[in-house]
Structure 1
Amino acid sequence: MSFDDALRSLKERFSVAGLHPPDLRVPIEGLRQQFFKVDYSAEPDAPELAEVVPVTVPGGAGTPLKARLYVPLGAGLPPGPGILFLHGGGFVLGDLDTHDMICRRLAEGSRCRVLAIDYRLAPETCFPCAHDDALAVWLWLSQHAASLGMDPARLAVSGDSAGGNLAAFLCQEMRRQAGPMPAFQLLLYPLLQFADIRSKKMPPQESGFFISVGLFEFFRSHYLPDPATYMDPRVSPLFGGEDVLSGLPPAHIIVCGWDPLRDEGLAYGARLRAMGVHVTDKEYPSMVHGFLNLTHMSATARSALREAGEITGRALGAL
């Protein structure tokens, strides 16, 4: 089968499943309603957790944020290791529900408690609001982890796409502030720079499947309306200096073969290794950006989340 035939087959498969490229002509609220809203009831292996608890945490400037605590059956007696999870969606889309299954499977695979947060989105709030929220929650969690059954010395940060950006930012920001450093970082096809969108390598994505240059520019124009912020190290951690890259926690990075973010994910791993950081990475050559949201239709997505959870759980001493 040729590459074009493979891409056409993949598109048809996802179309049957009700998944389509984002239509940027739809109002933002409409896009949010469409964003990975799928029925997971057909997943026979959906993990059973000990509990899933709604909580409220303080975001930037004290803004209360909705959050969700996932406690797996194998978590053990508290306090135990925990993961702060930050969802993707280009800082415009995504919420607790769109990434609920990712968090459930990550909790099960790692045997760690997972705290997911509903940070503020653009265009209602622009840069650096999402980053301020992530930072505020991390600093709060570092002080109040025990209230959620977590050990502050065994906390990881994780996120997919834009959430991976926030996770990488938190680690670098703790170097800048000499603050409480995460014990581990799990970066799932992370978005690591907004400076040079046009040169992103995207052979199949030029067709508009899931990710396109237009979609990146859509996200950037809403979250970063001021071009002067494109190279800000908070939103483009790929370009962080040696002073913030050295001494960062161990990392595991997942990348996809059919993803314009593949190269920057691998490049970030290489930069971290050059600074003496222990990094492992895993590429899924046939997968597209966002594939971990497709557990209802992809055995690869389910196994990838379990493996990522296990790697994180071992790093935190839960397994």
Structure 2
Amino acid sequence: MKNRPRIDGPEVAKVEDRTVSWRDAEVPVRIYTPAGTGPFPILIWCHGGGMVVGDLETADATARHLTVETGCVTISVDYRLAPESKFPGACDDCYAATVWASDNAASIQGDASRMAVGGDSAGGNLAAVVAQMARDRAHPDLAFQLLVYPMTSLDFETPSYVDNADGYLLTRDGMKWYWDQYLGASDDPNHPYAVPSRAGSFKNLPPALVITAEFDPLRDEGEAYAKNLEAAGVPTACTRYDGMIHGFFGMSGAVDKAGQAVSEAAAAMKKAFASK
């Protein structure tokens, strides 16, 4: 979030801020290009912040690390935030950016046949939802989904919510407030594009890596989502980082396990891209 200490990420070959257009959507993005000769795989990155806060700056260091370690073009999405823009504004923006990247891959030295979506927390929700949207709409073809302690459920009584309700940065009351801002008086608060655990089917979704933290209210719902994917035949890995709290993934360079998690994510994406 914006009040956390800012950790700088590594240098990349090129950074470009632009607005991409798809149908009626105009979505600000930041495009990170690695050193070397393309075409490169493409990662669409959705930042965290409970759908309410966060922006391209808060995601900058993570996007840089993933770009360098994976050797991919990373497109960080500055999606619309709640409460000004409620569901489905954020997921529509992230899907629009994903379709734009696929349709315009050559213009950013990207390879549309090797695309992934990823995000942390609220961004993990959006990445999971974009994967569902891409499957349901048969475009684009995604090779991977990286879900870092994703918001996937409205169940606030899981053991991880009860045990970590307070004292570990993210609180249960805070999460309830975030969801209220995003969903508001939605006619269908359990729509799978809002709450991805409500999907009617998890079949035919892209391979996944789900990363969770031990002392995180969202731990159990992330791990349950991984089990849903696995049960549907989706190649899925799930790693819990013991001793860590919500938000640790963005602390690479300052926290050893954060660096390990980013490296695990990069290795999983590279493996998925290599199989395409």
In the alignment, the residues of structure 2 paired with residue 235 and residue 203 of structure 1 have an alpha-carbon distance, to the nearest angstrom, of: 23
Structure 1 match to 2:70: 110
Aligned pair 1:300/2:240, yes or no? no
- Secondary structure of the 2:238 match is strand
Q: Which residue is equivalent to 1:40?
A: 7
1:233 is aligned to 2:192: yes
1:258 aligns with 2:215: yes
The code of the aligned residue for 2:185 comes to D
2:248 matched residue in structure 1 = 291
3-state SS in 1 of match to 2:13? strand
1:124-159 deviations in whole A, cap 9, x for unaligned?
Answer: 111111011112111222211111111111010000
- Alpha-carbon offset, residue 179 of structure 1: 2.3
Alignment equivalent of 2:148, drawn from 158, 164, 188 = 188
The number of residue pairs the alignment matches comes to: 275
Amino acid in the other structure paired with 1:68: R
Does 1:128 pair with 2:88? yes
Structure 1 stretches of 4+ moved >3 Å: none
Counterparts in 2 of 1:168 and 1:286: CA distance versus 1, 3 Å: same
1:166 aligned to 2:107? no
Q: What is the alpha-carbon distance in structure 1 between the residues aligned to residue 182 and residue 159 of structure 2? A: 19
CA contact (8 A) 1:81 1:317 kept: no
- SS of alignment partner, residue 166 of structure 1: helix
Counterpart contact for 1:192–1:237, Cα < 8 Å = yes
Residue matched to 1:207 = 166
Q: Which residue of 1 aligns with 2:156?
A: 197
Q: For 1:15-50, what per-residue CA distance to the aligned partner results, in whole angstroms no more than 9, with x for missing partners?
A: xxxxxxxxxxxxxxxxx642x3x2435xxxx52321
Alignment check: 8 A CA contact 2:172 2:217 kept: no
Local SS of the residue matching 1:66: strand
The correspondence for 1:87, drawn from 47, 53, 56, is 47
* TM-score of the superposed pair, with normalisation by structure 2: 0.93
User: 1:65 — aligned with what?
Assistant: 27
Q: Is the 8 A contact 2:2 2:58 kept in 1?
A: no
3-state SS of paired residue (1:123): coil
Counterpart code for 2:257: T
Q: How far does residue 303 in structure 1 lie from its aligned partner after superposition?
A: 2.4
Report the RMSD for the aligned CA atoms in angstroms. Answer: 1.9
Q: How does 1:19-34 map to 2 (within 5 A)?
A: 33-34=2-3
Q: Provide the residue aligned with 1:7 in structure 2.
A: none
Partner of 2:183: 224
Task: Report if the CA contact (8 A) 1:59-1:119 is conserved.
Answer: no
SS at match of 1:92: coil
Q: Helix, strand or coil: the match of 2:160?
A: coil
Distance 2:169 2:6 in 1: 19
Residue correspondence of structure 1 range 273-284 to structure 2 within 5 A: 273-284=230-241
Aligned to 1:315: 272
Q: CA deviation at 1:105?
A: 0.7
Unaligned 5+ runs, structure 1: 1-31
Distance (Å, rounded) in 1 between the aligned partners of 2:15 and 2:252: 19
Q: Which amino acid aligns with 1:53?
A: E
Q: Secondary structure at the match of 2:18?
A: strand
Q: Name which of structure 1's ranges 140-149 and 151-160 shifts more when overlaid on structure 2.
A: 140-149
| In structure 2, C-alpha distance between the alignment counterparts of 1:89 and 1:83, rounded to whole Å | 19
Displacement of 1:65: 2.5
